[in-house]
């Protein structure tokens, strides 16, 4: 049994308000559900990000004037979008090693076999674990780096933490390294609200899977039909929150006897996804220490791939 998972769940469910850290979405079931979410019409993010990758690979290639680099991807996931970028960079003659970092070793296996199948000549060095730790260890390597943080992952931090995270990356990067982040932009709130409340209810299952995972790994007795999925977008703050709502007053017990009590309509916070404007992204990059920020967007400016550099 994973001790950190157990401690984090006990801490989150005995706090007020209750929460479950969003990194726990991604067990095997969560990975599968997330791959389904990525294909949903309403979940526009990966589709548009992929479109931008298709249109800006040449400029990214030109910005990386090195003989050989390490492409380090934080929270790499299944690598399906990255594959397109790697293929494009390879076809332009870039010589690189691909280092995907992810907390889920399951998704890293999917990632590795997808990249290997299509790019058999590329060296892949998958690293399982929390990227906060594994990235600082990697920073001692001398090769120039392109660090990637795609899929609007930055939005899962509060703006303060996002800035702290970019600063942390900056401190572990050398002058010639570059950072490429895929960030969701502020837009019509209806479009954002629909992305987190899809008509096929896959996002609902994804959110409820957190409770299923606690049942499977900690022997809890959550009845999933006694909880509901409640997503909420605040366009003023640019924050899309996800909650689980307890539909009745209830008690849930873990295998070790620990009990948690839920009031009727009590919320468990499970995720936040912040949206930014291009100006806010530039400000963050500059505050973190970068000198140059370039945005690659789709024509409607729904999403951006932003490249942060020093030279």
Ligand X SMILES: C[S@@+](CC[C@H](N)C(=O)[O-])C[C@H]1O[C@@H](n2cnc3c(N)ncnc32)[C@H](O)[C@@H]1O
Residues that bind ligand X (CB under 6 A): 23, 26, 75-77, 81, 101-104, 107, 130-131, 150-151, 153
Joined tokens for residue 85: 């970028």
Q: Are 76 and 82 in contact (CB under 8 A)?
A: yes
**Size (the chain), residues:** 311
Q: In whole angstroms, how close is the CB of 280 to ligand X at the nearest point? A: 20
Q: Are 45 and 152 in contact (CB under 8 A)?
A: yes
d(CA 131, CA 75): 7
Q: In whole angstroms, how close is the CB of 146 to ligand X at the nearest point? A: 14
SS3 content of the chain, % helix, strand, coil (to 5): 45, 25, 30
Q: In whole angstroms, how close is the CB of 151 to ligand X at the nearest point? A: 2
Q: Which is nearer to ligand X, 77 or 238 (CB)?
A: 77
Question: At 52, is the secondary structure helix, strand, or coil?
Answer: helix
Q: Which is nearer to ligand X, 182 or 262 (CB)?
A: 182
Q: Where are the alpha helices (DSSP H) in the chain?
A: 3-13, 28-37, 45-63, 80-91, 105-118, 131-138, 159-171, 189-195, 202-218, 278-288
Q: Which is nearer to ligand X, 18 or 81 (CB)?
A: 81
Q: Which is nearer to ligand X, 64 or 108 (CB)?
A: 108
Nearest to 98 by CA among 69, 131, 61: 69
Q: In whole angstroms, how close is the CB of 159 to ligand X at the nearest point? A: 18
Q: Which is nearer to ligand X, 65 or 132 (CB)?
A: 132
Q: In whole angstroms, how close is the CB of 273 to ligand X at the nearest point? A: 9
Q: Which residue is nearest to ligand X (CB)?
A: 151
Q: Which is nearer to ligand X, 119 or 247 (CB)?
A: 119
Buried-exposed string 17-34: b where 16+ CB fall within 10 A, e elsewhere: ebbbbbebbbbeebbbbb
Q: Which is nearer to ligand X, 127 or 214 (CB)?
A: 127
Phi-psi region of 77 (alpha: psi -120 to 50; beta: other; left: phi over 0): left
Q: In whole angstroms, how close is the CB of 222 to ligand X at the nearest point? A: 22
What φ, ψ does residue 83 adopt, rounded to 5°? -50, -45
Q: In whole angstroms, how close is the CB of 226 to ligand X at the nearest point? A: 27
According to DSSP, the residues that pair with 297 across neighbouring strands are 304
Nearest to 93 by CA among 115, 114, 64, 72: 64
Q: Which is nearer to ligand X, 173 or 254 (CB)?
A: 173
Q: In whole angstroms, how close is the CB of 35 to ligand X at the nearest point? A: 9
Tokens 């995720």 correspond to what residue?
271
């Amino acid at each position: 049994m994973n001790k950190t998972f157990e401690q984090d769940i006990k801490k989150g469910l005995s706090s007020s308000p209750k929460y479950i850290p969003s990194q726990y979405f991604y067990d095997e079931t969560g990975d599968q559900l997330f791959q389904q979410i990525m294909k949903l019409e309403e979940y526009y993010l990966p589709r548009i990000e992929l479109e931008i990758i298709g249109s800006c690979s040449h400029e990214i290639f030109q910005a990386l004037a090195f003989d050989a680099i390490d492409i380090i991807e934080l929270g790499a996931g299944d690598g399906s979008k990255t594959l397109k970028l790697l293929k494009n960079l390879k076809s332009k003659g870039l010589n690189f090693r691909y280092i995907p970092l992810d907390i889920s070793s399951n998704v890293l296996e999917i990632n590795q076999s997808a990249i290997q199948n299509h790019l058999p000549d590329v060296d892949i060095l998958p690293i399982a674990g929390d990227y906060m730790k594994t990235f600082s260890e990697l920073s001692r390597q001398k090769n120039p780096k392109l660090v990637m943080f795609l899929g609007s992952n930055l939005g899962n931090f509060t703006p303060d933490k996002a800035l702290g995270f970019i600063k942390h990356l900056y401190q572990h990067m050398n002058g010639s390294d570059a950072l490429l982040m895929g960030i969701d932009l502020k837009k019509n709130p209806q479009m954002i609200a629909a992305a987190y409340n899809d008509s096929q209810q896959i996002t609902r299952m994804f959110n409820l899977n957190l409770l299923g995972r606690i049942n499977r790994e900690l022997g809890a007795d959550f009845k999933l039909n006694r909880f509901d999925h409640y997503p909420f977008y605040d366009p003023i703050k640019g924050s899309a929150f996800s909650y689980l709502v307890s539909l009745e007053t209830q008690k849930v017990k873990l295998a070790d006897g620990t009990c948690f009590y839920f009031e009727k309509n009590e919320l468990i916070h499970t995720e936040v996804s912040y949206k930014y404007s291009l100006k806010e992204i530039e400000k963050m990059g500059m505050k973190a220490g970068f000198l140059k920020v370039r945005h690659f967007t789709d024509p409607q400016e729904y999403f951006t791939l932003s490249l942060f550099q020093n030279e």
